[in-house]
Structure 1
Amino acid sequence: MSYGLQFTNNNNTVVLDSEYARLMVISSGRFAPTEEGGLGSTTYFARPVTSQEPPLVFVRPDTVGAIAGLCQMRLIGSAGNWTGFYVRAYNALTAQPNGRYFVSAFGAQYVAQYGLRIWDGANNLLFDSGTTNANFTRSFQNWTFVKYETGDQGLVTNYYTVPFNFPENEYMLINSFGMPMNSGSGIPRQLACLWDFPHNTLYAITAATSNPIAFYLPAVFAKQAV
C-alpha cells in the first residue's frame, strides 16, 4: 500500500487494505427444491449483487445418507444486478438440492447502517462493516480418473475424484460446474459434482458422446469469516 488505510492481524498478515478488494459475502442462506418435481432449485439473494462481473456462488449440500449431486448451475440477472442462481440435482436417484450457500464478490456493498467503510483511489467500495468476508481454503486440480460408463443414449460418463473430508463449514465454488467443457466433438462435455456422503468421496463427472480422459477443472473451496 502506498497511501490510505491498512489493517494487519497478530501475524502481521494484511486483512484490510484501501487499495485491494477482498472477497466479500453479499448474501447467504439456504437453497431448496422449487421446481421440476423437486430436482430443480431457484434461489434469490437477499440483496442483488451489484458487481459488473458475475459473482461467485459457493454451496454446501446438507449431509445426508445418500449422494448429493448438483449440475446445470446458472446465475440469474445481469451485470450490476445479479439476483439469484439456479442449480439442479444430478438425477432422480441423487438427493434433492438442499443445502447452504453464500454469494460473494471482490468488493463490498452498502449494507451497514453505521460502522466503517473503505474505498480505493477510484472510489470503489472495498469494505463495509455490515458485509462479511470469505476466505479461500483450498483448491484441487489433480483429479484422479476412476471409471467410465456408457449410457443407453450412447453418452460416456467419466468419474474423477480427489481426497476430501466434507467439513461442514467449507463451501465449494459451483459456478464452474455450470460451464460445458470441450470434448473434441460437436457436443461439449456436461459437468456435475457429486458429494458421496456414505463413502466420504467427492466426484466430478462429465458426460459426452466422446471419451476424453483429461480433466483439469479446479475445485475451489472457501469459508465465511466468523
Structure 2
Amino acid sequence: MSYGMQFTNNGNVVTLDSEFARLVVISTGRYAPTGENGLGSTTTFARPVTSQEPPLVFIRPDTVNGVAGLCFMRLIGSAGNWTGFYVRAYNVNTAQPNGRYFVAAFEAQPVAQYGARLWDGTGKLLFDSGTSAANFTRAFQNWSYVKDDKDPQGLTRIYYTVPFNFPQDEFLLLNNFGMDMNSGSGMGRQLYCWWDFPNNKLYAITIAVANPYAFFLPAVFAKMNS
C-alpha cells in the first residue's frame, strides 16, 4: 500500500489494512424451528446486513445423538438490506433445525458508540471496533463416494463423506448448500448436508434424475475471533 494504515500482529500477519476489508461478523444468534411442522427455520438477523453482495451465513447445528440434516438455505432480503435466512431439516428422520449461527460480510457496519473506525479510499467502512472478525479455518473438497440409491420419487441419490470431529467453535458456510448443482438433465442436482455426530462424519448428498458421480463442492468452515 502506498499510503493509509496497516496493523500487523506479533506473528507478522496483517490484521487490519486501510485498503482491504476483513470478514466482519455482523450478527450472531440461534436458529430454531419456526414452521413446516418443525422442519423449517426462518431466522431474522439481530441487525440487517447492509452489504450490496449477499452476506455469508455460517451455522453450527446443536450436537445430537443422531444426524442433523440441512438443506434449501436461502437469504432473506435484498442488496443493502439482508434481514435473515431460511434453512430446512433434511426430513422427519433427522434432527429439527436447532443451532447457532453468525452472519458475516467483507465490510463493517457502524455499531460501536465509541472506539475506532477505518474507511477505504472510496468511503467504504472497513473496520468498526464494535464488530469482531471471523477467520476461515479449513475446507474439505476430498469427498469420498459412499453409495447411491433411489429416493421415494425414484430419483438417484448419491452420498459422499469426509471424516470430521465437529468442534464447537467451527461453523459451516451454509451458502454453499443453498443452490442446485449442474446435472445430466434439465433438473439440477439438489444438495443436502448431514452432520452425523455419532459416527464423526460430514455428509454431502445429491439428488437428481441424471446424477453425476463427480463431486467437488467445498465445505468451508470458519470461527469467530474472541
TM range (shorter): over 0.9
Equivalenced residue count is 226
Q: Which residue of 1 aligns with 2:56?
A: 56
* SS state at 1:75 partner: strand
Shift of 1:144: 1.0
* SS state at 1:4 partner: coil
* SS state at 2:177 partner: helix
Deviations along 1:110-147, whole A, 9 cap, x unmatched? Answer: 10000000001111000000001000000111111111
* SS state at 1:95 partner: coil
Q: Which residue of 2 aligns with 1:175?
A: 175
Q: Which amino acid aligns with 1:191?
A: L
Q: Which residue of 1 aligns with 2:140?
A: 140
Distance in 2 between the 1:155 and 1:7 partners? 53
* SS state at 1:130 partner: coil
Distance in 2 between the 1:94 and 1:152 partners? 16
Q: Which moved more, 1:154-163 or 1:96-105?
A: 154-163
Q: Which residue of 1 aligns with 2:29?
A: 29
* SS state at 2:158 partner: strand
Distance in 2 between the 1:149 and 1:31 partners? 31
Q: Which runs of 5+ in 2 are unaligned?
A: none
Question: Normalising to structure 2: TM-score of the pair?
Answer: 0.99
Question: Normalising to structure 1: TM-score of the pair?
Answer: 0.99
Identical-residue share of aligned pairs (%): 73
Deviations along 1:69-128, whole A, 9 cap, x unmatched? Answer: 000000000000000000000000000000000000001001000000000111100000
Q: Which residue of 1 aligns with 2:83?
A: 83
The two structures, once aligned, show a CA RMSD in angstroms of 0.7
Q: Which residue of 1 aligns with 2:44?
A: 44
Distance in 2 between the 1:153 and 1:203 partners? 21
Q: Which moved more, 1:207-216 or 1:86-95?
A: 207-216
Q: Which amino acid aligns with 1:117?
A: R
Q: Is the 8 A contact 2:189 2:211 kept in 1?
A: no
Q: Which amino acid aligns with 1:10?
A: N
* SS state at 2:183 partner: coil
Shift of 1:163: 2.1
Shift of 1:12: 1.0
Q: Is the aligned partner of 1:65 residue 2:33?
A: no
Distance in 2 between the 1:219 and 1:202 partners? 9
Superposition pairs of residues 145-164 of structure 1, within 5 angstroms: 145-164=145-164
